[in-house]
Amino acid sequence: MLYGANDADRLLYLERFMIVLLGVLLGVLLFCWAREWIGFWPAVIVLGLYTVEPNLLAHVRLVTTDFGVTCFALARYIFSGERRDF
């Protein structure tokens, strides 16, 4: 009875959906950062490479915290104002 009300398939779907949203957010952050740094067309190439990167395609379906950490670490770097020109 304790676990009877929890539908495992529904919970896993919701968790994976949140990871997909984080993936979209990370793609938007990468595109905006690359557009500011190197221009529009190179940013489109960066976004295209991000969408076909094999490690992301293989591991994003797993519900782990590393994808969220990557997303929010990049967001903190972009919005912190501590960036330096290389």
What percent of the chain lies above the pLDDT cut of 70?
90
What is the pTM (predicted TM-score) of this model? 0.81
Query: How many angstroms separate the CA atoms of 62 and 18, rounded?
Result: 11
pLDDT averaged over the chain? 85
How far lies 8's CA from each of 5, 12, 39, 61, in Å? 9, 6, 44, 16
Q: Cα–Cα distance between 4 and 38 in angstroms, integer?
A: 53
Structure tokens at 74: 């990049």
| The pLDDT value given to residue 47 | 95
Instruction: Give me the percent of the chain exceeding a pLDDT of 90.
Output: 36
